[in-house]
Structure 1
Amino acid sequence: MAYRYKRDNPKSKRNLVIAFFVIIVLIALFVAVVAGFFGSNYVVQKSLEDPDVVLHMAVSGGDMIVTVYDGRRVDELRMLVLEIEGVSLPTSMSMMPAPQMGTGEVCFSNTCMGVTGVRKVGVRGIFTDGSSSLLKLSTIKFT
């Protein structure tokens, strides 16, 4: 019994391997482009979405004044909680009811007395469903 050996052409094998890797790279590139498109669409939609509550913080003397402007959940906002990095505030000073009309000013009296240096100041909102969310985080220099 005799076997016939077919001589393989190394050039055709090399071309086949190169074609296989080119196809894999093209598929990966296509998947990356599609994922990038849908990912960027998600980011754009999230950035255009209304925030829960839009507010501004300002220091006036020893008081912190929080002005509530607008937002998607401003009608559900019940309480505002002020947090200053490195400062332990009693609940009576750090927790105030939200404005009655949904928008307006809330004054946290004497919360900044004796605070010096650069601190992170956060305002957390408590909503009607009991959930709590950080509404604003700013770095403020106290003198």
Structure 2
Amino acid sequence: MTLESENGKVLPALTVFALTIEYLKNDLLENLNKQTMDDLDRSLIRWVLTVPAIWDEPAKQFMREAAVTAGIPSNQLILALEPEVASLYCFRMPSVSTYIAEVCPLLPGEKFVLIDAGGKYPSILSPALLR
């Protein structure tokens, strides 16, 4: 599969995705190195790459190959479905009823519903799926 830019340049899709992931990976590592005094042990990093829930296995495998091509070791890579990651974020995001700026779990009695309205088949995830 190839992709064509607005100026007519054609590249393999795997190259475009791998270069994009590599840029984001390198940017993150540069920023982490600026913030820490000692060298970061890259083998301790767990990379999580989100993919749409409607993607089939070949599409997910393509993304995995792009990440590995970008220099992310396969044994440190997790592909996660976007609605599941969004649900985890909502579960851990600051509570609406508090003014605390730090991340904290939902308060007792609070609930959330996440609706993934993208793709052909919208899905609803509730906090009950996380337990």
TM-score, normalisation: structure 2: 0.23
Larger Rg computed on CA atoms:
1
Greater share of strand: 1
TM-score, normalisation: structure 1: 0.21
